[in-house]
Amino acid sequence: MCGITGWVDWERDLRGRQHTVRAMTDTLACRGPDDGGTWLSARAALGHRRLAVIDLAGGTQPLTDAGDEQAPQAVLSYNGELYNYRELRAELQSLGHAFRTESDTEVVLRAHLQWGAAAPEHLNGIYAYALWDARVEELLLVRDRLGVKPLYYHAYADGLLFGSEPKAILAHPEFRAELDAEGIAELFALPAAPTPGHGLFRGMREVRPGHVLRVTRAATREVRYWQLTSAAHEDDAAATTARIRELLTDTVERQLLSDVPLCTLLSGGVDSSAITALAALARDRDGHDKIDTFSVDFPGSATALRPDKWRTTHDAPYVQAVVDHVGSRHTRVVVPDDDLLDARDQVLRARDRPGWGEMDASLYLLFREVRRQSTVALSGEAADEVFGGYPYFHATEAVAAATFPWLHGRETPAALLRPDVRAAVRPEEYTAQQYRDALAGTPELAGEEGGQRRLRQVGHLALSRWLPPLLDRVDRVSMAVGLEVRVPFCDHRLVEYAWNIPWEMKSLGRTPKGVLRESVRDLLPAQVVDRPKSGYPSTPAVRYTEVLTSRMHELLADPGAPVFDLVDRELVRDAVRDGRPLPSPRTAPNPVGGLDHLLQVDEWLRAYKVGLR
């Protein structure tokens, strides 16, 4: 993967703004440690940082369609992996296109020269890219169908700034980091269901998944090129499991393509285990070495686990069962509390916003260890959204609730807002409106009623509001260490097929994700296939909590702490004094999650010099 950034201005000549474009590009060096470059013209400037994965020698960017002595028709800065680039390359060659490199980047460029703004419809992959069409002076900003790769922008009167991460836009001297009422609502009321397209900072937006932003002197408009379509599912259970297996096998095999070391992330759940098993089979068939696998754990976690609906079992025994079964070379990354504490600042800088604290820090430390051996990792992310595996899919009251089901019965950090801030932000109204908007976007199936209709709505809420922050977290934390994480369960063909599988078939055998389990049953040990859903692990040690509690006491004593411009100091003081957990942005139980969140908000406001509007 890579980092992209750039600037379009209809009034200023950008050829003299190399220093600014270089500064924006340099903020993304962690995303692309292997190479970097810029391209400038009067109206447009593009920057790129490269993580070399395919065609290590020939994939330098920004990429133009012409040689050095010719004026280009198009210039591309691309972040992503195209899994059908070989087929597309052959098709484009048959249409008369000649290629100068072996990279998938050039395939994307020439797809645009052939099909224009319709090019993304031909792509299978994860990507976010910027293409400047010099022929008509138009900038296209494109994001993949599920939003695996991020892309932010700031539009102003005479132009537009963009970047893979907010930090690239923040590096521009004319953009100010500010938080308005909508941003406060996103941060405190909807951290687990963010609004599509909202970039948190005032004036910053995000290209929505499955959309193209078309930027010309006359207008800036967003065009949707992909959406789910509801239709009757005609396959029986046997045909459905066979089709899932076929799609998943093809997807994994496509995503094994790499010119650098590759591994899988293995938690011992059915999702990551299925990816690992399919990868191991493909590598063995093609005569490659054993697949490398990685898992994360904490000291003392085996005896400290207290099962709940989100964390049912300890990962390690199931991980080992898969390792033994497929014969992978496994590394168990054990994360002590002191390392978690040390990683908090790196994670904040990676995400450009307050995140999920300890959960982010441990993922960062896992990815850092993975990166020592591999440049690419395959993950089981998104299977629970696609096949309905989370607890809220199976909790009657949560499904029936007139809100995002994962927020049912939960208090969000918005409960801590000061009265004057609450009056301006109106978090309950904001949440209710966002829920109505999300619900209205569900592709309905004619004639579907009652429970089936509601579960289709919940599935769409999961894909459109729950999945995006998880994908964003994985992208930011992995790219902070120069690791590319691929997500086979986000292949749009698999998502489209699974979308219309009836709920009773998805829950085949009255088991969450039953149809997925049956489709891979022959690949894995029975205890792994039948293992109940168990979420990302959390540290059982008390030191992390003790240190954060001490830091909160220090914060409460600081009269200038910026977080208390937003949050009621006395509410926080009373909760900390009484030992009550503060409301957390996370859905899974975590006694320190709320504490972590407030501390991060304060650290973020200070580090990014965020103004409040």
Question: Which of 335-339, 563-567, 607-611 bottoms out in mean pLDDT, i.e. has the lowest?
Answer: 335-339
pLDDT at position 66 is: 80
CA nearest 170: which of 609, 598, 565?
Answer: 609
Q: Is 30 a catalytic residue?
A: no
pLDDT of residue 152: 98
What the block records as the tokens of 42 is 């009067």
pLDDT in the model for residue 34: 87
Average pLDDT over residues 362-385: 97
Q: What is the pLDDT of residue 541?
A: 74
pLDDT given for residue 365 in this prediction: 97
Q: Please check whether residue 45 is in contact with residue 108, taking contact to mean a CB–CB distance below 8 angstroms.
A: no
- With a pLDDT cut of 90, the percent of the chain lying above it is 86
CB 330 within 8 A of CB 323: yes
Which range is least confidently modeled, 85-99, 104-118, 301-315, 511-525?
301-315
* Residue 57: pLDDT band with limits 50, 70, 90: low
| The pLDDT of residue 590 is above 90 | no
Q: In what order do the strands lie in the sheet with 138-143?
A: 63-64, 74-82, 125-133, 138-143, 211-215, 220-224
**117 with 67: CB under 8 angstroms?**
no
Average pLDDT over residues 493-516: 97
CA distance linking residue 556 with residue 569, whole number of Å: 7
Q: What is the mean pLDDT of residues 203-210?
A: 98
Provide the H-helix boundaries in 520-592.
526-529, 543-556, 569-578
For the record, the structure tokens of 424 come out as 């301006």
pLDDT exceeds 70 at position 35:
yes
Of 52-56, 70-74, 198-202, the range with the highest mean pLDDT is 198-202
What's the confidence (pLDDT) of residue 439?
97
* pLDDT on residue 542: 83
Q: Say if residue 488 is preceded by a cis peptide, omega within 30 of 0.
A: no
Q: How many CB atoms lie within 10 A of CB 65?
A: 18
Spatial separation of the C-alpha atoms in residues 465 and 504, rounded to whole Å: 23
DSSP labels, 64-93? ESS-TTS--SEEEEEEEEETTHHHHHHHHH
Please, what is the average pLDDT of the chain? 94
Mean pLDDT of 244-253: 98
* Dist. CA 338–CA 333, nearest whole Å: 14
Mean pLDDT across the stretch 519-527?
98
The residue to which tokens 């994962």 are assigned: 406
The separation between the first and the last C-alpha atoms of the chain, rounded to the nearest angstrom, is 35
Long-range contacts of residues 16-20, Cβ cutoff 8 Å, at least 24 apart: 17/45, 20/171, 20/172, 20/173
Residue-wise pLDDT for 144-184, tens only, equals: 999 999 999 999 999 999 999 999 999 999 999 999 999 99
Give the pLDDT score at 259. 84
pLDDT at 60 over 90: no
Report the 10 Å Cβ neighbour count for 474: 21
Q: State the pLDDT at residue 535.
A: 83
pLDDT-derived band at 14, boundaries 50, 70, 90: very high
**What region, left, alpha or beta, does residue 73 occupy, with left being phi > 0 and alpha being psi -120 to 50 degrees?**
alpha
pLDDT digits (tens, 9 = 90+) for 388-426: 999 999 999 999 999 999 999 999 999 999 999 999 999
> What confidence score (pLDDT) does residue 54 get?
64
Q: What is the pLDDT of residue 69?
A: 52
Lowest mean pLDDT among 119-123, 258-262, 280-284: 258-262
| pLDDT at residue 207 tops 70 | yes
| DSSP code string of 253-306 | HHHT--SS-EEEE--SSHHHHHHHHHHHHHHHHTTPPPPEEEEEE-TTHHHH--
pLDDT band of residue 539 (cuts 50, 70, 90) is: confident
Whether the CB-CB separation of 413 and 425 falls below 8 Å is answered with: no
pLDDT category, 452, cuts 50, 70, 90? very high
pLDDT at 58 over 70: no
Alpha-carbon distance 63 to 65, whole Å? 7
Close Cβ partners of 418 (under 8 Å, ≥ 6 residues apart): 564, 565, 566, 567, 568
Q: Is the pLDDT of residue 67 over 80?
A: no
Q: Average pLDDT of 544-569?
A: 96
What is the rounded CA–CA span in Å between residue 364 and residue 272? 18
The Cβ-side half-sphere exposure at 18, using a 13 Å CA radius, reads 5
Report the C-alpha gap between 484 and 374 in whole angstroms.
9
Q: Which of 117, 137, 168, 120 is nearest to 6 (CA)?
A: 168
- Whole-angstrom distance, CA of residue 7 vs CA of residue 163: 9
Q: At what angle do helices 427-440 and 181-188 cross, to 10 degrees?
A: 80
More confident residue, 310 or 134: 134
| pLDDT band per the 50, 70, 90 thresholds, residue 304 | low
pLDDT of residue 588: 72
CA distances from 314 to 69, 307, 536 (A): 61, 9, 10
C-alpha torsion angle, residues 191, 195, 198, 200 (rounded to 10): -20
- For the chain, the maximum distance between any two Cα atoms, rounded to a whole number of angstroms, is 73
Q: What is the reported pLDDT for 68? A: 56
Q: Say what the pTM is.
A: 0.96
| pLDDT tens digit sequence for 463-500 | 999 999 999 999 999 999 999 999 999 999 999 999 99
Q: How many residues does the chain have?
A: 613
Percent of the chain with pLDDT over 70: 98
CA distance 276 to 524: 10
pLDDT at 322: 98
- Which H or E element spans position 46? strand 44-50
- DSSP-assigned states of every residue in 406-467: GGTT---GGGGB-HHHHHHH-HHHHHHHHHHHHHHTS---TT--HHHHHHHHHHHHIIIIIH
> Do 115 and 225 meet the contact criterion of CB atoms below 8 Å apart?
no
The arithmetic mean of pLDDT across residues 240-261, rounded, is: 95
In whole angstroms, give the CA distance from residue 292 to residue 328: 6
**368 token code pair:** 């850092």
